[in-house]
Structure 1
Amino acid sequence: MGAETIETEFIENAPPADVPPLKTQGKIGEEILDSHIYDDHGNPHHAALDNNADGRVSASTWAAVFFLGMTFLPSITFSLSTFVPVATTVALKLQGSTNNVNWLAGGWSVSGSVAFAIAGQLSDYMGRKQVVMTGQAFLLIGHLVGATAQGLNQIIAAMVIIGAGTGTIFVIYASISEILPNKWRPFGIASPEFLLCVVGSFGPVMARKLTQDVTWRWIFIIGEIIGVIATAGTFIFYKPPSRTFQDRTKIQVLSELDYLGIFLYAAGVTLFLLGLGWPGIAYPWKSAAVIVPITVGGILFLSTFVWDFWGHVGRPLFPYRLMGRFREFTSLLIINFASGLAHIALANFVPQQIQLVFTSDPTLAGWFNTPAGLGTFIGGFVLGSLAPKLKNFPQQLLVANAIQALGCGLLAIATPDHIPAGLVVQGIANAPFAWTLVLSYTTAGLHVPQRDIGLALGLLGASRYLGGAIGSTLFNTILRARAAKSIPTRVLAAVEPLNFPLSRVGGLIAALTSGNVASLAAYPENVVAAGRLAVRWGYSDALAYVWYASIPFCVIACIACLFVLDPSPYLTNHTAVVTSDTALANKKSETKDTV
C-alpha cells in the first residue's frame, strides 16, 4: 500500500481529498483534524488511557528530536549562557561603560515572552514545522546581526531578534511531546537539556577565551553555524502534518486570531518592563517616565484577560478554557513565572557575581561558571528523565522549587572570602529550573487537549520568560541602587586607614569601576589594591539583596505546587501525532506481519 493511502487514513469524517475545505465545517474547537493527529475530542486523559499503541519510536523520529533539541544551542546557549557572561567586558570595549547591559538579557526575555504566546497558538493552527523553521530563521538573522555589530545597541537588537526566535522555536517542546509516546515525553523534553548542559557548561570559558584571544564575534558566528545545522536537520527529519485542520484554510484561521489581545499583551508587557528598567538608572522612581509606562503597561496587560474572557473572541490568546483549569494548567503558569524570575536572575547575575566579586581573571571566571551548567545537567537531564520513575510530579515540583529558594538565599554567602562555597551553591541553585521545566511541560501536555497543546506550552514559556524579564530589570535596579551605596562605604572604610585624602575618594571609585586600568596610575598601589578589594565587597553586599529578593517568588511557586494535578497515570504508550515517515514505517511493518 503506498504513502498516498497512508496520508488519508484515520480521517474522522473528513471530506474527500479532491474537495476543497468547507468554510463552516465544525465550530472552533471542533475542527476536523489531519489524519495523523489523534483527536481526543477535548479529553486527553481518555485518549491516553484508551489506546492500544505499542509505544515504538522510529529512528527518524529520534533524529527529529535530536535536531529540534539542537536548535536550543543558538537560541539559549550562545546567547544567555555564552555571551551574557562576557557582556560587561564587551560593553566596556564598545562604549567604555556598562550602561544598558541589563537590556541584553532583558530584551531577549521581553521579545521571547511575546513570541512564546503568539507562536504556540499559531503552531496549533498553522502547523508546527512552519513555525519552528520561522523561529530558526529569526535565530540565524539574530546571530548575523550580533556577529557584525559595531555597538552595544546593535548587540541588544541582535539579542531581541534571538529572543523572538527563541520564543518561536519553543514550540519544539510541543513538537517533541506529541511525536513521542506519552511515557517518553519527559525524556524527550529533557533531551535538549543534555545538549544545553554539555555545551553551556563550558560556554562561559569559551566566551572568555574567544573574547580575550580572538574576538567575541565568534560567539555569534559559532551560534550561526550550529543554527544552520539544526535547521537543515529539522527540515530533513521532522515531518509532522503540514496542515492541522482539514475544514479550514490557513487564511481562514488567520482571520480568527485574537489580534487585539496580541496587541494588548505585547504593548502591555513592553511598556511595563521599560518602566521597570528605568528607576535609579535613567530616571527616579517618582518620575513620570517611570510611573506612566508601568501604569499603562499594567492596565494594557490586565485588559488582555478582560478582552479574552469576555470579548467573544474566536481564538483568544488567553482562553478561559485553559486559564480556568487551575490544577491542570494555571497553577503551572504561576510556578513557571516565579521559577523563571529566579532563573533569569541566576543566568544574568551569577556571571556578574563571578566577575565583580570572585575574580577579574577572565579565564578563571569562565571556569567558575561551569557549576551552573553541571547543576542544570543534573536537574534538567538526569532528574527530568527520571521523572516517570520518581512518580508524583507535584511533589517533585515542590522539592525543585524549595531547592531553588534555598539556593538563591544561600548565594548571599558567596563573598570574596567564601568563593568555593559560592560555587557549590551556584550549582545547587541552577539545578531546579530545568527540572521544573520538564515537569511542567510534561504535566501541561498530558492535561490539556491536543488542539491546545502548542498554545498551552507557549503560555507556559511566556509566563516563564515574562518572569525572567521582570526579574532581570527589577534585580538590576536593586543591584545598581544598592551598589551605589555599598561601594562608596566599603572603599571609604578601606582607604581611610591608609591616610588617603577623602576629597579624592570619589575619583578613585570612578577609576576602579570604569574598567580603565590607565586611570588608576594616578593613585598609590596600596590604595588601588585596597580599593579593588573594597569594590568586590561592595558588589557582594549589593548582590546579596538581589538573592534575597528572589526568595519570595520561589515561595509562591512552592505554594502553587501543592495544587498541581499529578499526570503520572497518563504516561502511557499513546502517541498524539504520527509523523508521515513513522506512519509509512508502521504500515510496512503491518504488511510484513500480514504476509
Structure 2
Amino acid sequence: MAPHTDEDLRQVRSLDAEDVKGRDFTIDRNDMPKGYFFSPKFIGSMFAIGANLGSGTGAFALIAPILSFVNEDIGPDANLTWVAIAYLLASSIGFPFVGRLTDIFGRRWFFIFGGMLATVGSIVCATAPNINAMIAGEVILGLAASGQILYGAPISELVPMKHRFWAQGYVVCWTIPTSSLAAVVAYAFVFQTKVGWRGVFYFLIALNVAITIALFLFYRPPSFHMKHGDNRKTQYLKHFDFVGAFLFVAGLLLFIMGISWGGVLHPWKSAAVIAPIIIGFFLLVAFALWEGLAPLQEPLVPLHLFKVRGFVISVLMWSLGASVYYANAILWPSMVNTLYASGHGVMWGGWASCLANSGITLGELLVPVGTLFKNKHWQIRSVFFIGSAFVVSMASCTPHTPTQAMALIFFGSFFIGYNEIANSTVITLTVDDQREIGTANGIASSVRNCVSTICSTVFTTVLANRLAESIPAKVPPALTAAGLPASSVAPFITALSSGSATAFNTVQGLTPTIQAIGVRAYQEANSDAFRTVYLTTLAFSGIGMLLSIFYPNIDHLLTNAVSVQLHNKGADDHADVYDEEKKIEN
C-alpha cells in the first residue's frame, strides 16, 4: 500500500468534521479482546441499562394502580389525572432528543445525568405534600424516563447483532417487579407496610442511586472526542435543528395535551380540547415539512430513516401492538374490580390485575427462543394475528366467566408481548447506519407513545360513552323492579361507583336482596361497555395485520458485528480516536 501523505491525513480529519455521525466503531465479535463479554465494565453496564429500564417503567407503572390512595392522602385534587399526563408528555418529548443527542455527543454523561434526574424526581414524589408536587415529580421522572426507557440503543449496540433479541429479552427481566407485578408491589406497599404509597418512591430512590453509580463506574461507550476527533461540541450545537426542535416540542405537547384532556378535564367539544389538537397537528405537519425541505446539516429527525421499509413497518407494528397492550392495561384492572373481585380479598384483585402485564412480559422473555428458528418475519406476523384474536375475543366475556376472561387476557397479552420485543429489536437491526441507532430508537419511541395515547383516548372515550348508555338502561329498571324507590336509584348508583361498602347505608329502602340485584345489573352494564371497547381494538390491530403482510425477512441482518465497544476507565479519548491516524502518520 502506498504511504499516506499529510494531505491524506487532512482529508480524513475534514471528512470527520463534516460527518455528524462521527467515527464508525463497528467490529466483528471474533476480533474483540478475549473475555470482553465477562469483564466488569460489560457486566456492570448491562446491569445499569437493565435496571434503568425497570426504574423508568416503575416511575409510573408502580404508582398508577394506587393513585386513588395518593389522592385520599394528599388530595383530593381535580388535577390528579395530570400525574399520568405529565409523565407521558415529558417522556414523549424527550425520546427523540435523547436519541439524537447521544448519537452525536456520546451516551455516557446523558445517561448518568438521567440517573441523577430520576433520583431527584423520586425524592420529590416521595416527599410530595400535595398532588401538584406529585405532578412536578412525575415531570422530572418522565424526562429521566426518556433516557431510561430508550434502552434499545445502548443495549443493542453493545452485543453482536445476532444476539440483540437475547439482549432485549434480558433487559425485560428488570420490568417484572416494576411493570408485570406492579399492581401487586404497589398494593403491598399500601396494605402491608407503614410507609404506604410513598414506599414506591423510596424503592425507586435506592434503585436510581445504584443505577447512577453503576453507570459512572462501568458504562464507558465512545465519547464525543472518540466520535469526532478534535472537533468542538459548539460546532455541532451551532448547526443543531433548533427550529425543528421547537416545532416538534410545541406540536407534540399541544396534540397530546388536547387528546388527554378530551372527556377527562374538558368536554370534547370545548375549545380547550379542539384548539390544542388542531394547532398541535399543524405544527407537527410543519415539522415534517421543515425536516424534509430545509437544508439542515443536523436534522432532529433524519427522514431517510423512513425510506427503509423494515424500519417503518416495525415502528408501526410496535406502536399498534402497544395500542392493544394499553387496551389491556386500561380495561383489564377495571374489569377485575367491577366484574370479578367481589367476594375476594384486596390482594386477589392485585394479582388478577397483573395477568395482562405478566403475559406481556412472558411473551417478551420468550422472543430470544424464537431466534433459534429462521424466518423471523413469519413469527412476527403470526404472533400479532394470534394476540389480536385473543384480545378481541375478550368481547365474549361476561360477569359469569372470570376464568375465561383471565385465560384470554393472559394469552392475548403473551402474544402481543412477543410482538413488542420482536419489533423493537428489528427497529435497531434495520437502521442502515448503526451510528444512528439512538436517533432511530428515539423516533420510534416517540411515535409509539403518540399512537398509544391516541388509542388509549379512543378506548377510554368509547368506554365512557357506552357506560353512559348501558348503566341508565339496565340498572334503574332492575332496581325499581326489585322494589327500590325511584328516588333512591341515583344515590345507589353513586354509592356503587364510589366502591365503598359503607356508602350503601345511606340509600333509603335498600335491602341485601335489592343490593345484590342492583350490583348484578351494574356488572352487566359494565360488561356491555367492555365488550364494545374490545371490539374497537380491531380498528387498530386490523391495520397491524395488513402491515405485517409486507414485513421483510431480517434474518440476513443477524451477524457477528458489534456496533460499539466499551473502553476502560482512564483511557485517553483523544488517543483512541487517533489510532488510525497514527498508523497513517507512521
The TM-score normalised by the length of structure 1 is 0.85
Q: In structure 2, the residue corresponding to 1:265 is in which secondary structure? A: helix
Q: Deviations over 1:434-460 (max 9, x none)?
A: 423332233232222022110001111
Q: 2:452 aligns with which of 451, 468, 477?
A: 468
Instruction: Give the match for residue 306 of structure 1.
Output: 289
Equivalent AA in structure 1 for residue 531 of structure 2: A
Distance apart, 1:78 and its partner CA: 4.8
Instruction: Give the match for residue 18 of structure 2.
Output: 27
Q: Could you say if the C-alpha distance between residues 295 and 543 of structure 1 is closer, same or farther in structure 2, counting changes exceeding 3 Å?
A: same
Instruction: Give the match for residue 566 of structure 2.
Output: 579
Q: How many residue pairs get matched? A: 552
User: Is 2:46 aligned against 1:65?
Assistant: yes
Q: Could you say if the C-alpha distance between residues 511 and 223 of structure 1 is closer, same or farther in structure 2, counting changes exceeding 3 Å?
A: same
Instruction: Give the match for residue 4 of structure 1.
Output: none
Q: Deviations over 1:506-565 (max 9, x none)?
A: 222122212444432122242333333333333333233332222221121222223233
Q: Could you say if the C-alpha distance between residues 532 and 442 of structure 1 is closer, same or farther in structure 2, counting changes exceeding 3 Å?
A: same
Equivalent AA in structure 2 for residue 33 of structure 1: R
Instruction: Give the match for residue 411 of structure 2.
Output: 428
Distance apart, 1:296 and its partner CA: 0.8
Q: 1:330 aligns with which of 312, 327, 339?
A: 312
CA contact (8 A) 1:23 1:248 kept: no
Taking the TM superposition and a 5 Å limit, the aligned residue runs for 1:120-519 are 120-197=99-176, 200-213=179-192, 214=194, 215-243=196-224, 244-325=227-308, 327-359=309-341, 361-382=345-366, 384-448=367-431, 449-519=433-503
CA contact (8 A) 2:16 2:23 kept: no
Q: Could you say if the C-alpha distance between residues 147 and 364 of structure 1 is closer, same or farther in structure 2, counting changes exceeding 3 Å?
A: same
Quick one: percent identity of the two aligned structures?
Answer: 26
Structure 1 gaps of 5+ residues are 1-12, 39-46, 585-595
Aligned equivalents of 2:532 and 2:19: distance in 1?
Answer: 49
Q: Deviations over 1:86-111 (max 9, x none)?
A: 224433555458x6655444433332
CA contact (8 A) 1:116 1:461 kept: yes
Instruction: Give the match for residue 577 of structure 2.
Output: none
Distance apart, 1:198 and its partner CA: 5.3
Q: In structure 2, the residue corresponding to 1:219 is in which secondary structure? A: helix
Aligned equivalents of 1:105 and 1:217: distance in 2?
Answer: 17
Aligned equivalents of 1:301 and 1:321: distance in 2?
Answer: 18
Distance apart, 1:461 and its partner CA: 1.2
Q: Deviations over 1:83-142 (max 9, x none)?
A: 222224433555458x66554444333322211111111110111122222322232222
CA contact (8 A) 1:114 1:266 kept: yes
User: Is 2:538 aligned against 1:551?
Assistant: yes
Distance apart, 1:299 and its partner CA: 0.7
Structure 2 gaps of 5+ residues are 1-7, 572-586
The TM-score normalised by the length of structure 2 is 0.86
Aligned equivalents of 2:113 and 2:335: distance in 1?
Answer: 36
Q: Deviations over 1:297-320 (max 9, x none)?
A: 111112111110001122222212
Q: Deviations over 1:458-510 (max 9, x none)?
A: 11111112222223333222222222222233321331222112232122212
Q: In structure 2, the residue corresponding to 1:478 is in which secondary structure? A: helix
Q: Could you say if the C-alpha distance between residues 487 and 137 of structure 1 is closer, same or farther in structure 2, counting changes exceeding 3 Å?
A: farther
User: Is 2:68 aligned against 1:84?
Assistant: no
Distance apart, 1:232 and its partner CA: 1.7
477-486 vs 181-190, greater mean Cα deviation: 477-486
Equivalent AA in structure 2 for residue 542 of structure 1: A
CA contact (8 A) 2:318 2:424 kept: no
Aligned equivalents of 1:353 and 1:254: distance in 2?
Answer: 50
Distance apart, 1:332 and its partner CA: 2.0
Q: Could you say if the C-alpha distance between residues 372 and 15 of structure 1 is closer, same or farther in structure 2, counting changes exceeding 3 Å?
A: farther
Instruction: Give the match for residue 551 of structure 2.
Output: 564
Aligned equivalents of 1:353 and 1:158: distance in 2?
Answer: 30
Aligned equivalents of 2:80 and 2:456: distance in 1?
Answer: 11
179-188 vs 133-142, greater mean Cα deviation: 133-142
CA contact (8 A) 1:112 1:167 kept: yes
Equivalent AA in structure 1 for residue 387 of structure 2: Q
CA contact (8 A) 1:128 1:240 kept: yes
Equivalent AA in structure 1 for residue 247 of structure 2: L
Q: Could you say if the C-alpha distance between residues 443 and 54 of structure 1 is closer, same or farther in structure 2, counting changes exceeding 3 Å?
A: farther
Q: Could you say if the C-alpha distance between residues 306 and 191 of structure 1 is closer, same or farther in structure 2, counting changes exceeding 3 Å?
A: same
Q: In structure 2, the residue corresponding to 1:180 is in which secondary structure? A: coil
Aligned equivalents of 1:297 and 1:406: distance in 2?
Answer: 34
Q: Deviations over 1:48-86 (max 9, x none)?
A: 8x9866996233313321221011222113521x32222
Aligned equivalents of 2:335 and 2:132: distance in 1?
Answer: 23
CA contact (8 A) 1:72 1:192 kept: yes
Aligned equivalents of 2:209 and 2:175: distance in 1?
Answer: 17
Aligned equivalents of 1:435 and 1:301: distance in 2?
Answer: 31
Aligned equivalents of 1:558 and 1:358: distance in 2?
Answer: 32
Q: Could you say if the C-alpha distance between residues 545 and 28 of structure 1 is closer, same or farther in structure 2, counting changes exceeding 3 Å?
A: farther
Equivalent AA in structure 1 for residue 516 of structure 2: A
Q: Could you say if the C-alpha distance between residues 149 and 486 of structure 1 is closer, same or farther in structure 2, counting changes exceeding 3 Å?
A: farther
CA contact (8 A) 1:495 1:531 kept: yes
What is the CA RMSD across the aligned residues, in angstroms?
2.9
Q: 1:75 aligns with which of 42, 48, 56?
A: 56
CA contact (8 A) 1:105 1:469 kept: no
Q: Could you say if the C-alpha distance between residues 114 and 539 of structure 1 is closer, same or farther in structure 2, counting changes exceeding 3 Å?
A: same
Aligned equivalents of 1:254 and 1:104: distance in 2?
Answer: 33
Q: Deviations over 1:233-258 (max 9, x none)?
A: 22222221122322532222222222
Aligned equivalents of 2:317 and 2:498: distance in 1?
Answer: 39
Aligned equivalents of 1:446 and 1:250: distance in 2?
Answer: 28
Aligned equivalents of 1:136 and 1:57: distance in 2?
Answer: 24
Q: In structure 2, the residue corresponding to 1:453 is in which secondary structure? A: helix
Aligned equivalents of 2:569 and 2:313: distance in 1?
Answer: 35
Instruction: Give the match for residue 9 of structure 1.
Output: none
Distance apart, 1:392 and its partner CA: 1.9
Aligned equivalents of 1:313 and 1:120: distance in 2?
Answer: 18
454-463 vs 481-490, greater mean Cα deviation: 481-490
CA contact (8 A) 2:388 2:416 kept: no
Q: In structure 2, the residue corresponding to 1:386 is in which secondary structure? A: helix
CA contact (8 A) 2:478 2:518 kept: yes
Distance apart, 1:368 and its partner CA: 0.5
Q: Could you say if the C-alpha distance between residues 153 and 512 of structure 1 is closer, same or farther in structure 2, counting changes exceeding 3 Å?
A: farther
Aligned equivalents of 1:411 and 1:108: distance in 2?
Answer: 29
Distance apart, 1:380 and its partner CA: 0.7
Distance apart, 1:146 and its partner CA: 2.0
Q: In structure 2, the residue corresponding to 1:521 is in which secondary structure? A: helix
CA contact (8 A) 1:285 1:291 kept: yes
Q: Could you say if the C-alpha distance between residues 516 and 135 of structure 1 is closer, same or farther in structure 2, counting changes exceeding 3 Å?
A: same
